[in-house]
Amino acid sequence: PRGCRGQDASRLAGAPDRVNAPGHHVAIYVGGCSLCSDFAVLLRKLVAPAVLDVVPCGSAIQKKLAPQVELRECALDFMLVRSDGGMLKGVDAVREALLLSSWFRRMRPLFMSRMGMFAARIIHLGARRRRARKGCCGKAKATAENQAEKLP
């Protein structure tokens, strides 16, 4: 995926310091999906690394920063692991990740309103349909299902 090839080793080196840091979150995206990868690049530009690590599902850094997230969960949709250990998935995770940006934080009342939540769900549904049409996440889904079958 774009924007993370050369950065994995350097981010992994500082990862233990940030894992339990207060206010630190981990965003996990489907690495094989171009739409997800583009969103990950956008998040890296908007949110400081001290607040949010954006990592591909199943990578070594994901296993170090968020070991509680299983491959079968994160291979299907965008996930956010909060600093308190709580996990969000799908549209709620996207909205929460964007609100970590100082630029989007100013629009929090709009994001949290009924209309903002409705618009976010419509956009997320459209993105999921586009991903399904392109088949870009089919490989990741098949890998997750194969891994799930191997689990006890």
**Residue predicted with more confidence, 147 or 32:** 32
Confidence of residue 4 (pLDDT cuts 50, 70, 90): very low
Q: What CA–CA distance (Å, rounded) separates 26 from 76?
A: 16
Q: What pLDDT, in 10s, does the model give residues 12-71?
A: 445 545 555 667 899 998 887 778 888 888 889 888 888 999 999 888 888 888 888 888
Three-class SS state of 29: strand
How far lies 16's CA from each of 21, 38, 109, in Å? 9, 26, 34
Q: What pLDDT, in 10s, does the model give residues 71-117?
A: 888 887 889 999 888 999 988 888 888 888 888 888 888 878 888 78
Q: Which of 63, 128, 60, 130 lies closest to 89, judged by CA? A: 128
Three-class SS state of 11: helix
Residue type, 11: R
- What confidence score (pLDDT) does residue 108 get? 80
**Residue predicted with more confidence, 46 or 133:** 46
Whether the model pTM is above 0.75: no
Residue type, 33: C
